[in-house]
Amino acid sequence: MSQESSAGLWVKLARQWGVSRAVAFAVASRLWQLVTGPVTVLLVASQLTEDEQGYFFTFSSLLNLQNMFELGLTIVFLNLSSHSFANCRPSRSSVNGNWEWNGADEEKSRAASLLYQGLWWSLVQASLFLVMVSGLGIYFFSLEADSYSINWFYPWLAVVFCAGCSQVQAIPLTYLEGAGEVLPIQRMRFLMAVAGTTSMWLTLWFQLGLWCAAAVAMTRVVFEFGYLAFIQRAFLLMILRQKITTRYNWWSAAWPLQLRAGLQGLLVTLSTAPLIPVVFAYTGPAAAGRLGLVHSVLSSMNSAAAAWLQTRIPVLTTLATQKNFFAFRELYSRSFRQSNLFLAAMMLLFLLAIWLVPVVADPPEIVRPWTIGWLAQKLEPRLPPLLPASLLAMALFVHHQCASATLFVRCHMYDPFLKVSFVSHPVSGLLIWMWGSYFGETGAVLGYLIPLVFMIWPWIILLQRECLRKIHQASTEPAVTVADSSKST
């Protein structure tokens, strides 16, 4: 088989699986973390103590409190920007390659005003996040009896500061995605993932302890800023120079959606963010580190699977705005099915690996450096038992179903999920705290899983079906499929 025909076969298979170039880069950034994960885990096991590993992953859990201050802004902003650019999408000139913005002046003015207001809100929210979460983390970690022996204070402040900067930079990045710049952003995020992993390896190799977490956060800030300031400078200047004659009505168009999404994000955070900190507080940093490691790997798989749908939000939102519901359902269903197959396969392989680690590990008295048995011996004390790992995989798989259904509905600028959050997520947070304090890792994971399976998932599916009935039922357009616009970018 020639090289050209082989490449054509791969392209054909990729299209059948809905893997556009944007999806490929989005998935690749997560696959990079999965492929390099064993090296990272070995470096963590050799360069960090078990307690430092617990602090490392608890950092990430506490940073999830960012959702409380963001109030769903990033999630809503992607839909808002996609909606605003539906009738005035910028494009590059075929003559000189410069950006051109066609459309009515009113539409362009409203879209530019949206960026200004989004930046203002993100600055306010990031400032509150920096002050309150940094203080909360200092208080929480100081409660640990042996915290004085761990160098966590300055790395924690650096991580929080970088997270606040990224929160502000997420607004123009999301705005660009809504304008159709999905492929360049996903390419940048892939390169950022590679650089972040490399910086983390270097800090671990030079035994800089918890500064490895700060190195990843700093790398993200530098890449995002560089991308916005240099790669997308012309695009953003074109938007910012647009004369504002018609302001985007944030309070009537955006705030109701943001308030709903923000309250839901707040409740989701209160129900999921305690997972690792509860284990940290009641079982110790070492146990939190073991559960946190598995949670990090499974979350990367979840994010990779979500890329099939998230990279198509601009297309789906445009189709919903144009009431092309048949094409909307066809694209969504195909992407949803492919993401589920990918996620299930990756999770099963990971759980198989956890089961095999103690099986192939060398006995303690045998030392055969850099063999599979020696590597498994290093990994075994840093991994949780198979039961809590399997339960956590089930929980995150169900979470993917819920997130996909929520995305389906929100693409229609419709959000009926507030009542679900008010009722179910406090129950989840309470169970995580109660069962985690008594039964450790397994209890905390069960407290997360049970409300997802028996309350949140069934309720969200019912609301998705209601959206289908109310919005899609009146659809009478011809049965035509949609060409995924991300393939052309």
Write out pLDDT tens, residues 398-418.
Answer: 999 999 998 888 888 777 887
Mean pLDDT, range 310-338, rounded to an integer = 85
Rg of the Cα trace of the chain? 23
- pLDDT > 90? residue 265: no
3-class SS of residue 249: coil
Q: Which segment, 11-15, 265-269, 412-416, 427-431, is predicted with the most confidence on average?
A: 427-431
Confidence of residue 263 (pLDDT cuts 50, 70, 90): confident
Mean pLDDT, range 249-265, rounded to an integer = 76
Confidence of residue 5 (pLDDT cuts 50, 70, 90): very low
Say if residues 262 and 127 touch (Cβ distance below 8 Å). Answer: no
- pLDDT > 70? residue 465: yes
- pLDDT > 50? residue 186: yes
Per-residue pLDDT reduced to its tens digit, 100-117: 788 788 888 888 899 999
Separation CA 412–CA 474 (nearest Å): 14
Half-sphere exposure in the Cβ direction for 276 (13 Å, CA): 29
- pLDDT > 70? residue 464: yes
Q: Which segment, 312-316, 350-354, 475-479, is predicted with the most confidence on average?
A: 350-354
Considering the chain, what percentage of its residues have pLDDT values greater than 70? Answer: 89
Residues with Cβ within 8 Å of 284's Cβ and at least 6 positions away in sequence, in order, are 51, 54
Length of the chain: 489
pLDDT value at position 8? Answer: 47
Q: Which segment, 315-324, 372-381, 444-453, is predicted with the most confidence on average?
A: 444-453
Separation CA 361–CA 367 (nearest Å): 11
Largest CA distance in the chain: 76
Higher pLDDT, 87 or 464: 464
What's the sign of the alpha-carbon dihedral 487, 192, 85, 265? positive
Say if residues 239 and 81 touch (Cβ distance below 8 Å). Answer: no
Q: Is 172 exposed, middle or buried (0-12, 13-18, 19+ CB in 10 A)?
A: buried
Which has the closest alpha carbon to 10: 28, 26, 24, 30?
24
- pLDDT > 70? residue 326: yes
Confidence of residue 21 (pLDDT cuts 50, 70, 90): low
pLDDT value at position 20? Answer: 57
Separation CA 83–CA 484 (nearest Å): 17
- pLDDT > 70? residue 256: yes
pLDDT value at position 95? Answer: 66
What φ, ψ does residue 88 adopt, rounded to 5°?
-150, 50
- pLDDT > 70? residue 2: no
Task: List the single range of 15-24, 58-67, 129-138, 334-343 with lowest mean pLDDT.
Answer: 15-24
Say if residues 177 and 314 touch (Cβ distance below 8 Å). Answer: yes
Average pLDDT over the chain, rounded to whole? 83
pLDDT value at position 203? Answer: 94
pLDDT value at position 23? Answer: 65
Mean pLDDT, range 40-62, rounded to an integer = 86
Residue in this structure with the two tokens 């990224």, named with its chain if needed: 166
Say if residues 435 and 449 touch (Cβ distance below 8 Å). Answer: no
Mean pLDDT, range 176-190, rounded to an integer = 86
Mean pLDDT, range 462-482, rounded to an integer = 66
pLDDT value at position 306? Answer: 87
pLDDT value at position 10? Answer: 36
Residues with Cβ within 8 Å of 214's Cβ and at least 6 positions away in sequence, in order, are 155, 158, 159, 162
- pLDDT > 60? residue 11: no
Mean pLDDT, range 160-181, rounded to an integer = 91
